[in-house]
Structure 1
Amino acid sequence: MSHVWGAFLRGINLGNRRMKMADLKQCLEAAGFAEVKTIAASGNARISASGAEDTIKPKLEKAIETRFGFPVGVVLRARDELEAMLDDHPFGMLDRKADFTRHVLMFDQPLPEGIGLESLPGNTEILRIDPREIYIAAYRQPNGRYTEHVEEVLKPLYDRIGTSDLDTMRNWNTIEKILK
């Protein structure tokens, strides 16, 4: 039985790690994934596939590396996980008049118990930490940027887990579009 998945590729379209979404779509279809749809140009795809996350993820990563010539980590979320994120996000508590962007940092593995991160109020705010997601509001700064202090806020987490190779951050608008 086939299930719908959101596949979020890490670190593409930066430097020499370029790929067109039409090429990604063809790659995933050639690898046997069905109902492939790409969302935005930052490596997001909705696919239909049979099997569990631990069999689909390596198949995706192998197909992408074979086609594009460089390794790409993939963070997967099943349809029910994505629907739960959409139904129970913390962004509704924010002042709608404020100038901010909404983001979710998704991890491949569960986060360590008891992770606490300090927000920078009015700059980068950690709204909630779930077992495999961190919800972030990033406010517009005087230089016009929104997310330039995210790394500073997340540094204690990466100091504890030792790497940022198991995660990917997405604008919330992308999450809202992935199942449509």
Structure 2
Amino acid sequence: MVTGYAALLRGIMPSNPAMRNERLRAVFEELGLERVASVLASGNIVFHAPAQDTAALEERIQDALHERLGIPGGTLVRTGDELRALLDSDPFPGLTHGRGSYLTVVFLKNRPAAPVVLPEDPDPRTRVVGYDAVARAFLAVIDNSDPGRTPDFMAWVGRTYGKEVTVRTWLTVQRVAGRLEA
């Protein structure tokens, strides 16, 4: 059975020639993955392949990206079904993505051995709203309305979870899932 997947790549800088979408897509195609497409210019690659263990797929993709393009960052893979279930759960009811309500999804690479203990408001302008076990992600709303004060959310994520995570906006997750379904 062929399955749709999304690879969420860490540390992609589109200004770096080795990290441009066409180069990233070429690596996926060389691995024999099908219907490879990029979504935005920030390391979101969708593709189709026979159903398989996502951890092994992550490792295979990351090894190829490192070997062919020198990209040291992490690779997190989710199935289209996992992303669709996350979207269908409507974790941000009544909210829209904007400066005062910047909707984010923090994808964890590994499935926690125990339920994730969510932080008590890691920053006064950040509100963690829940954890989605299927997508292995927690969801947060960040208030970015004061351009002079940047919330400490990203620093907190790095300190708490290290480099085994990647953060996407809710809009990006919607676009990635939509591209898989197209």
TM-score normalised by L of structure 1: 0.83
Are 2:26 and 1:23 aligned? no
Task: Decide whether the 8 Å contact of 2:9 with 2:166 is kept in 1.
Answer: yes
Task: Decide whether the 8 Å contact of 2:125 with 2:143 is kept in 1.
Answer: yes
User: Counterpart in 2 of 1:115?
Assistant: 117
| Aligned mate of 1:135, from 134, 139, 143 | 139
In structure 2, list runs of 5 or more residues that go unmatched. none
168-177 vs 115-124, which deviates more? 115-124
User: Counterpart in 2 of 1:2?
Assistant: 2
TM-score normalised by L of structure 2: 0.82
Task: Decide whether the 8 Å contact of 2:118 with 2:128 is kept in 1.
Answer: no
Task: Decide whether the 8 Å contact of 1:118 with 1:153 is kept in 2.
Answer: no
Q: Indicate the RMSD between aligned Cα atoms, in angstroms.
A: 2.7
What one-letter code is carried by the residue in structure 2 that aligns with 1:47?
A: F
In structure 1, list runs of 5 or more residues that go unmatched. none
Q: C-alpha displacement at 1:17, in angstroms?
A: 9.2
Q: Distance in 1 between matches of 2:96 and 2:124?
A: 11
In structure 2, the CA distance between the partners of 1:96 and 1:32, relative to structure 1 (3 Å rule), is: closer
User: Which whole-Å deviations, capped at 9, do the CAs of 1:23-81 have from their partners, x for residues lacking one?
Assistant: 11112111211111111111001111122213311211121112211323111111110
Task: Decide whether the 8 Å contact of 2:4 with 2:79 is kept in 1.
Answer: yes
Q: Distance in 1 between matches of 2:56 and 2:122?
A: 39
Q: Distance in 2 between matches of 1:92 and 1:77?
A: 23
Identity of aligned residues (%): 25
User: Counterpart in 1 of 2:44?
Assistant: 44
Task: Decide whether the 8 Å contact of 1:36 with 1:48 is kept in 2.
Answer: yes
Aligned residues: 174
| Aligned mate of 1:148, from 151, 166, 169 | 151
What one-letter code is carried by the residue in structure 2 that aligns with 1:107?
A: L
User: Counterpart in 1 of 2:163?
Assistant: 165
In structure 2, the CA distance between the partners of 1:144 and 1:83, relative to structure 1 (3 Å rule), is: farther
